[in-house]
């Protein structure tokens, strides 16, 4: 629909007739706003749909454009004076941004925790934006606040499985917080530890608590010499951020070694807890990892729960990646004990197949998040249903729509299928790698992350005999780094890389590993075979250069 100047004036959108504006700007801008809700002018919606569909239909992981040549296209620091023509802008966007974006939904992009999404999220994204609710408060998100609480309660029940009565009491009780929806797993983890810290160092006997009086005073009041967070050395780097931000310092993040299955060493963890108690250090939280970022390993949650409970310490499970294993009858047992966690992080944008920007933290005790509650006169009233009163974030979008839709449109059985399939496919890839002389499997996959590496031909016999020197290992590392970089650059397929350490002659040796993450339900055996063939082909090119 195009609006004429007369229409616009008739509507009285402009408050002054005489204008200091360059002619035409007013009409152009008002047209941008009045066409919302109606079909866009020049069928922009249809055009963008076509661009989206085209993007999603490409099988390659990326184009092979070099970073250096991309940079040059984004060197304009001046905002255009006048509004650009939308069709021209879309052409620009297509050529410069969309064409060189990563095909995270490609079945051959199996290197990161971002994969294909179900189709219903596309129209819902438009709907969510049209609704433009602000979930911070009831006055800007009425039904959506309750819808969010319902979706979070469903997830809470999946984890904790309390009684009907419990959920009837808390699901829509403004004083209860079963979970908080936020932008991602990092802020979820930080929020969990913030609650834990404030709860351990609360107001008491005239002391205002850490929230009011700060960390130094609070530790002093409670008789602690310092504060720490304890977890596996494979904890996500969001815990570094938490320790830094909360003022305990990264050296207060105690990293316990892991066993060969990438699980925290339980005995060492137990000893660390005792040592902290002896040294009068407050343990803000013990972290269990359900799906390490680098290899998918799941800690022995039940054993950690036991330790935390005995020590009366907050137990947080970072299940950002691995949480959805709970949907699977076959794999749920790997998370056994998660129901004993005081708080749990799960990401919606990882194994729940929802768009980027959905983190969640759940609390065993619906009162725990009171420890971070804030109020403000212009909003966030005490006793209200305003979701922002207990949150790290303020204004935030209605991402709950996606979560609610995912739970309803995929369902328990649908999620179970997705989880089981990913693990089955990973097993296929692991078996395949195991039989191929070109590759070495670096760990038996626990879930759907797989780490392995390419071995140059001259060293394969030594690998079989377990006879590699440190120099050999360095050479293999160089080789694998090179393979991964070339693979990423050429863009046909994608596998990421990480660095593992192994102990050899009492020394820590770094091992560069190729890292597959298989979550895309559209990835076939042929795709997995193609990814491995691509690496072998690249390795042949690398050989001629390095050897």
- The CA angle 395-401-403, to the nearest 5 degrees, is 105
Q: How far apart are CA 109 and CA 115, in angstroms?
A: 8
- The CA angle 365-369-370, to the nearest 5 degrees, is 105
Minimum CB separation of residue 536 from its own copies in Å reads 21
- Helices within 234-300 (DSSP H only): 238-245, 266-278
216 vs 261, which CB is nearer to its own copies?
216
Minimum CB separation of residue 241 from its own copies in Å reads 6
Side by side, which strands form the sheet with 315-318?
A: 179-182, 359-363, 343-347, 315-318, 281-289, 226-232, 253-256
Q: How far apart are CA 515 and CA 325, in angstroms?
A: 20
Minimum CB separation of residue 177 from its own copies in Å reads 15
Minimum CB separation of residue 51 from its own copies in Å reads 6
Q: How many CA atoms lie within 13 A of 11 on its CB side?
A: 13
In sequence order, what DSSP letters do the residues of 394-460 get, joined into one string? SS---THHHHHHHHHHTHHHHHHHHHHHHHHHHHHHHHHHHH-TTEEE-S--SSSEEEEEE--GGGH
Minimum CB separation of residue 495 from its own copies in Å reads 10
In the chain, what's the furthest Cα-to-Cα distance?
A: 87
Tokens of 478: 């160089």
Minimum CB separation of residue 36 from its own copies in Å reads 4
114 vs 537, which CB is nearer to its own copies?
114
211 vs 339, which CB is nearer to its own copies?
211
- Using a 10 angstrom Cβ sphere, with 0-12 exposed, 13-18 middle and 19 or more buried, the burial of residue 223 is exposed
Minimum CB separation of residue 505 from its own copies in Å reads 22
Residue closest to 108 by CA, chosen among 478, 529, 489, 462:
529
Identify the DSSP state of 83: P
Minimum CB separation of residue 169 from its own copies in Å reads 11
Q: How many CA atoms lie within 13 A of 267 on its CB side?
A: 1
Q: How far apart are CA 376 and CA 395, in angstroms?
A: 13
Minimum CB separation of residue 544 from its own copies in Å reads 26
143 vs 466, which CB is nearer to its own copies?
143
Q: At residue 130, what are phi and psi to the nearest 5 degrees?
A: -65, -40
- The CA angle 351-285-313, to the nearest 5 degrees, is 120
340 vs 349, which CB is nearer to its own copies?
349
Identify the DSSP state of 324: G
162 vs 265, which CB is nearer to its own copies?
162
263 vs 293, which CB is nearer to its own copies?
293
Q: How far apart are CA 265 and CA 203, in angstroms?
A: 35
Identify the DSSP state of 258: B
306 vs 365, which CB is nearer to its own copies?
365
- Alpha carbon dihedral 51, 55, 56, 59, in 10-degree steps, equals 150
Residue closest to 191 by CA, chosen among 3, 393, 338:
393
17 vs 545, which CB is nearer to its own copies?
17
Contact in structure between 373 and 366 (CB atoms under 8 Å)? no
Tokens of 293: 């970022």
320 vs 459, which CB is nearer to its own copies?
320
Residue holding tokens 């509507």?
Answer: 11
Q: At residue 87, what are phi and psi to the nearest 5 degrees?
A: -65, -40
Minimum CB separation of residue 313 from its own copies in Å reads 19
Minimum CB separation of residue 448 from its own copies in Å reads 12
Tokens of 365: 């005790």
270 vs 414, which CB is nearer to its own copies?
414
Minimum CB separation of residue 217 from its own copies in Å reads 7
303 vs 477, which CB is nearer to its own copies?
477
């Amino acid at each position: 629909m195009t609006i004429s100047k007369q229409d616009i004036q008739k509507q009285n959108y402009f408050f002054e007739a005489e204008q200091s504006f360059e002619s035409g700007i007013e009409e152009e801008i008002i047209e941008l706003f009045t066409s919302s809700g109606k079909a866009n002018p020049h069928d922009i919606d249809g055009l963008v749909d076509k661009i989206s569909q085209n993007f999603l239909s490409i099988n390659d992981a990326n184009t092979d454009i070099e970073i250096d040549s991309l940079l040059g296209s984004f060197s304009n620091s001046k905002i255009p004076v006048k509004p650009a023509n939308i069709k021209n802008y879309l052409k620009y966007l297509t050529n410069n941004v969309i064409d060189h974006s990563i095909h995270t939904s490609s079945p051959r992009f199996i290197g990161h925790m971002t994969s294909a999404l179900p189709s219903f999220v596309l129209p819902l994204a438009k709907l969510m934006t049209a609704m433009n609710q602000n979930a911070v408060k009831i006055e800007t998100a009425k039904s959506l606040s309750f819808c969010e609480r319902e979706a979070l309660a469903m997830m809470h029940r999946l984890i904790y499985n309390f009684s009907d009565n419990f959920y009837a009491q808390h699901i829509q009780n403004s004083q209860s917080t079963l979970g908080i929806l936020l932008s991602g797993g990092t802020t979820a983890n930080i929020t969990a530890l913030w609650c834990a810290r404030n709860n351990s160092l609360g107001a008491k006997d005239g002391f205002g608590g850490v929230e009011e009086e700060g960390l130094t005073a609070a530790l002093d009041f409670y008789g602690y010499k310092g504060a720490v967070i304890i977890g596996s050395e494979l904890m996500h780097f969001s815990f570094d951020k938490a320790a830094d931000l909360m003022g305990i310092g990264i050296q207060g993040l105690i990293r316990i070694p892991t066993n060969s299955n990438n699980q925290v060493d339980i005995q060492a963890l137990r000893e660390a807890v005792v040592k902290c108690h002896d040294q009068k250090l407050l343990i803000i939280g013990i972290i269990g990892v359900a799906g390490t970022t680098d290899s998918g390993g799941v800690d022995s949650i039940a054993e950690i729960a036991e330790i935390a409970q005995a020590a009366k310490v907050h137990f947080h499970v970072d299940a950002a990646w691995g949480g959805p294993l709970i949907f699977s009858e076959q794999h749920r047992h790997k998370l056994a004990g998660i129901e004993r966690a005081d708080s749990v992080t799960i990401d919606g944008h990882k194994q729940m197949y929802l768009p980027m920007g959905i983190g969640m933290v759940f609390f065993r005790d619906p009162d725990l998040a009171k420890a971070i509650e804030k109020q403000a006169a212009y909003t966030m009233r005490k006793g209200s249903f305003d979701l922002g009163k207990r949150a790290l974030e303020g204004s935030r979008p209605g991402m709950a729509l996606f979560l609610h839709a995912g739970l309803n449109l995929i369902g328990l059985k649908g999620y179970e299928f997705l989880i089981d399939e990913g693990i089955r496919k990973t097993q296929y890839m692991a078996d395949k790698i195991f039989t191929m002389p070109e590759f070495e499997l670096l760990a038996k996959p626990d879930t759907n992350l797989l780490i392995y590496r390419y071995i140059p031909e001259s060293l394969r016999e030594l690998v079989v005999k377990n006879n590699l020197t440190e120099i050999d290992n360095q050479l293999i590392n160089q080789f694998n780094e090179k393979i991964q970089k070339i693979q990423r650059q050429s863009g046909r397929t994608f596998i990421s890389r990480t660095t593992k350490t192994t102990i050899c002659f009492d020394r820590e040796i770094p091992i560069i590993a190729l890292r597959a993450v298989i979550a895309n339900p559209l990835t076939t055996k042929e795709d997995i075979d193609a990814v491995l063939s691509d690496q072998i082909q690249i390795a042949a090119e690398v050989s001629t250069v390095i050897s």
